[in-house]
Amino acid sequence: MIRLGTGELTPATVARLTGGPLREPVGLDGPTTERMRRSVALRERLVASGEPLYGVTTGFGDRNIGHIPAAHATELQHHLIRYHLVGSGPEAPAPVVRATLLIRANCLARGYSGVRPEVVDLLLDCLRHDLLPVIPERGSVGASGDLVPLCYLAALLIGEGTAVHHGRRRPAREALAAAGLRPLALQPKEALALINGTSFMAAFAVHAAAEARRLAGTAEACTALAVEVLLGNRDHYHPVIHRQKPHPGQVRSAARIRALLDGSQLARDHARVLSDNRPGDGQEGYRRLDHPIQDRYSVRCAPHVIGVLHDTLDWVDRWLDTEINSTNDNPLFDPDGDRVHNGGNFYGGHVGLAMDSLRVAVASVGDLLDRQLACVVDEKFSNGLTAGLTAPTAADDPAAGLHHGFKGAQIACSALVAEALSLGMPATAFSRSTEAHNQDKVSMATIGARSTRTVTALVHEAAAIQLAALCQAADLRGAHLLAPGTAEVYRQVRRHLAFMPADRRLDTELAALAEELRTSGAAAEATPAPAPAPAAQDGPPARITEDTHA
């Protein structure tokens, strides 16, 4: 069993558990349950003493100067939920909502929030039944926690609002009853503990990070294929080069690209490049080389771009690991010290900066892929490939000139990448003073996390276009000449898109490929396979060499 509240939950585990309905055992162990009950007992003693407790026997935010009788403390919690139900925009995706429930349960299970184990149990029961609140994405400034979106989670637990149960929308109370669950009557502090934290932003963040990690691997597969179809120089990824600038991500990226190219009959090494450029007998003075010594930056510097994403993800994961295993509400009840502490752990600054940085790194990789694609589809730069990667036709063929291949797809790819790049502005730079100047410095981390997941989706769509074009180019060169590693990528892509001998619509095929790349990272995990690449459907043309001009 994965034990909540013990610090063992990781971002990767959250992403894995919440991609679909919860199938693995997750729960509270004995010591965790006991720690939670001790914090509840402390909360009850302090309420009974008449001591003003923020959000328990006082108003919220700037209204904390008003002391409320203990008899109304429970009613106060329900008012807190209802007045924050003001979200708007698209509904958060199911994986993000599941992650929100799991992360919030983990934070409360740490035993400093004054929350009963029964609250965590109901969150986990909802996950097991795939009973999810409908949560609008917009409305959080990410500083007093995700107050607005998390109120939709809290409303589910008291049987209010709308839920989705196994894909069916229905009133929350009805959905709970259908799953054999009962809503809770929240005790003092419990509604505040549910909403006064960073779990919604963290849920977006862990899924964005997981998708970004898959994207890094996909970009390496794209680069290796680009080297092959452009008849490029594999020595750009030689370990000697990258040991002299040993950023871990750069070294790792170069090594994988080189491994994917191992055995390629299309990529050239330095000796082959020199051989291809050897002067003929009697040639002296200036001459134009037959093949470039170096490839363009989008190919040659790919490890330096993708490596930034790898290294960014390493520290982003560390920050997210701390965040999802933290107690990030307020106030906190310390049963060992027998006192309450007022603070600001709900502030999302670390998540915000992590997502702002990750978003820029992901968009930069998208730009890299778009530039590679521009080289592949343009006959001026592709070393002999056809314009737009169209199937070659004879000059007297009646269809000559009618087809344009991947010309439109490259335009769409540029549009996707431009949109991703346009979202690179840091959300954390836009703090606003809110809530009567009580929340006068806010993180905007939720906006940053949402935008980062949007960017990862956009770049995966661009990567799908890039892979489709690269496999078309591989067929034009001769897919049987691919390295074993890139041949495996080729096979995965060809499950979704056949060779294109003539113009046809590609949108549905590309969408299916993009979804597989984003959710499973098939190309990101490709390893060399012994079987040769299969012949593409619809009969690809004979191999095109650098000297062939159709």
Q: What is the pLDDT of residues 61-117, one digit of tens each?
A: 666 666 667 666 677 778 889 888 999 999 999 999 999 999 999 999 999 999 999
Pick the range with the lowest mean pLDDT from 40-44, 83-87, 395-399, 516-520: 395-399
- Tens of pLDDT, residue by residue over 321-334, are 999 999 999 899 99
Most confident of 11-15, 388-392, 429-433, 524-528: 11-15
pLDDT of residue 351: 97
Is the pLDDT at 185 greater than 60? The verdict is yes
pLDDT at 458 over 80: yes
Task: Assess whether pLDDT exceeds 70 at residue 355.
Answer: yes
Residue 208 scores a pLDDT above 60 = yes
Alpha carbon separation from 472 to 225, 243, 406, 505, 528 (Å, rounded): 11, 34, 9, 15, 20
What mean pLDDT is predicted for residues 412-440?
A: 88
DSSP element (H, E) containing 26:
strand 26-27
Q: Which of 127-136, 416-425, 512-521 has the lowest mean pLDDT?
A: 512-521
Mean pLDDT within 346-363: 96
Asked if the peptide bond before residue 331 counts as cis, ω within 30 degrees of 0, the response is: yes
**Which value, to the nearest 10 degrees, does the dihedral of the CA atoms of residues 128, 130, 133, 139 take?**
90
Question: What b-and-e string marks burial along 168-205, b requiring 16 or more CB atoms within 10 Å of the CB?
Answer: eeeebbebbeebebebbebbbbbbbbbbbbbbbbbbbb
The pTM of the full predicted model, rounded to 2 decimals, is 0.92
Which of the four CATH numbers 3.40.309.10, 1.20.200.10, 3.90.1150.10, 3.30.2350.10 does domain 207-277+288-330+361-394+406-431+445-525 have?
Answer: 1.20.200.10
- Number of Cβ within 10 Å of residue 118's Cβ equals 14
CB 468 within 8 A of CB 493: yes
pLDDT beyond 50 at 549: no
pLDDT band at 304 (very low <50, low <70, confident <90, very high): very high
Residue whose token pair is 């459907």: 537
pLDDT at 539 over 60: no
Q: Tokens 């328990």 correspond to what residue?
A: 56
Write down the pLDDT at residue 65.
66
pLDDT the model gives residue 550: 32
238 pLDDT exceeds 60?
A: yes
Confidence of residue 339 (pLDDT cuts 50, 70, 90): very high
- pLDDT, greater one: 379 or 270: 379
Confidence of residue 399 (pLDDT cuts 50, 70, 90): confident
Q: What is the pLDDT of residue 64?
A: 62
CATH number corresponding to 2-197: 1.10.275.10
Residues 286-309, mean pLDDT to the nearest whole number: 89
* Residue 537: predicted pLDDT: 45
Determine contact, residues 320/351, Cβ cutoff 8 Å: yes
User: What percent of the chain shows pLDDT beyond 70?
Assistant: 90
| Residue 193 pLDDT exceeds 50 | yes
The H or E element spanning position 332 is: strand 332-334
pLDDT at 541 over 90: no
Is the pLDDT assigned to residue 6 strictly greater than 80?
A: yes
Strand, helix or coil for residue 331: coil
Reported in sequence order, the residue ranges of 81-190 that DSSP labels E, i.e. its strands, are 88-91, 131-133, 136-138, 162-165, 168-171
The model's pLDDT over 471-498, given as tens digits with 9 standing for 90+, comes to 999 999 999 999 999 999 999 999 999 9
Annotated catalytic residue: which of 54, 152, 237, 286?
Answer: 54
297 is catalytic: no
Residue 542 has pLDDT above 60, yes or no: no
Mean pLDDT, the chain, rounded, equals 90
Question: What are the domain boundaries of the chain?
Answer: 2-197, 207-277+288-330+361-394+406-431+445-525
**What's the chain's Rg over C-alpha atoms?**
28
Say whether 207-277+288-330+361-394+406-431+445-525 and 2-197 share the same fold: no
Give residue 53's pLDDT.
80
Cβ–Cβ < 8 Å for 198, 344? no
- What does the pLDDT look like over 516-538, one tens digit per residue? 999 987 777 766 544 444 444 44
* Total Cβ atoms within 10 A of residue 89: 10
Give the three-state DSSP class for 58: strand
- The pLDDT of 432-455, averaged and rounded, is 85
